[in-house]
Amino acid sequence: MEIIKHRSPSPAINVALDEVLLSSVVRGARGPTARIWVNPPSLVIGYTLKPCEEIQCGEATRLRLPIIRRISGGGAVYHDYGNINISIAKPSKGLRHVDDLYREITGIVLRTLEILGVRGWVENNNDVVVKGYKVSGSAAAIKNKGYLAHATLLVSADLDTLRRVIKPRLDRVARGEVTMAKYNPGNLYDLVGIGLSEALEAIEKALEDLYGPLYMGEYIEEELEEAKKLARLRVLDLEALEDPSILSGGIA
């Protein structure tokens, strides 16, 4: 499997690069590809989520955190340099259900934890939990002949900022849709003393265990240019989010 470690100083371009990766797989320009990356401080939301539904938009504006829409579904995620992102794009031949994607991407995280000597388990179909704390969430997208699954891994993220800007959907917990672990984030460093370098090495080892030998790849110039174009469409206007109708969740 090819592995790409390219990352941009622009969080919007980083998010767009996942979308570009999926497009390349769909049109047959790439085979199965993994990507490991970190993002500058930012907020990333699912493609159908209203920006202020799960984000404290006023606080995000004050902190100057860009809000970026990704190609996959799901909720709001806080990114920073202490949060590792793992992305997998593959042809969708043989794929039966989106749950298969969650099993695949959470399987990578679970294998990573196993290599590190840490016991983790899956809750809510797409969260990985350690000692009752959510250390990983995941989302997925299926497009024509390919699919993308990506996950976060909290290692040493700024959890104070995360809690200030992410709204816990306690109504979902009350209805029994999800467990409280979904809104109880924890860092691997705080829980088990694992740092970024150890986690990154373990992720690569997990990918090798699950997919076989890895070879280093890179985005080609056309893909990077496409990501720049997409990024302009995916980042939301923080100034506009100060509008009261938007702060109440009044946009699609």
Of residues 172 and 203, the one with the higher pLDDT is: 203
| Residue-wise pLDDT tens digits, 82-108 | 999 999 999 988 777 888 899 999 999
Contact 196, 154 (CB under 8 A): no
pLDDT in tens, 25-54: 999 999 999 999 999 999 999 999 988 899
Encode pLDDT of 172-182 as tens digits: 999 999 999 99
Return the pLDDT at 242.
Answer: 52
| Rg of the Cα atoms in the chain | 17
What are 119-148's pLDDT values in tens digits?
Answer: 999 999 999 999 999 999 999 999 888 999
* Averaged pLDDT for residues 62-75: 94
Max Cα separation, the chain?
Answer: 52
Centre a 10 Å sphere on the Cβ of residue 247 and count the other Cβ atoms it contains: 17
Percent of the chain with pLDDT over 90: 83
The upper half-sphere exposure of residue 218, i.e. CA atoms within 13 Å in the direction of its Cβ, equals: 3
Cα 170 to Cα 110, 164, 177, 181: the distances in Å are 26, 15, 10, 11
Residues 156-168 have pLDDT tens digits of: 999 999 999 999 9
Q: Which run of H or of E encompasses 115? A: helix 98-115
User: Is 96 within 8 Å of 113 (Cβ atoms)?
Assistant: no
The structural domains of the chain, ordered by start, are: 2-237 (3.30.930.10)
Query: C-alpha angle with apex 87: 67 to 221, nearest 5 degrees?
Result: 80
Are 47 and 234 in contact, with CB atoms under 8 Å apart? no
DSSP E strands in 14-145: the ranges are: 33-38, 42-45, 67-69, 77-79, 83-91, 121-123, 127-130, 133-143
Q: Do residues 109 and 120 lie in contact, with contact meaning Cβ atoms separated by under 8 Å?
A: yes
DSSP 3-state assignment of 113? helix
Mean pLDDT of the chain: 92
Residue 247 has pLDDT above 50, yes or no: no
pLDDT reading at 246 higher than 80:
no
Q: What's the average model confidence in pLDDT over 145-154?
A: 96
Assigned token pair, 244: 């009261």
pLDDT the model gives residue 236: 87
**For residue 251, is pLDDT > 80?**
no
| H or E element that contains 246 | helix 244-247
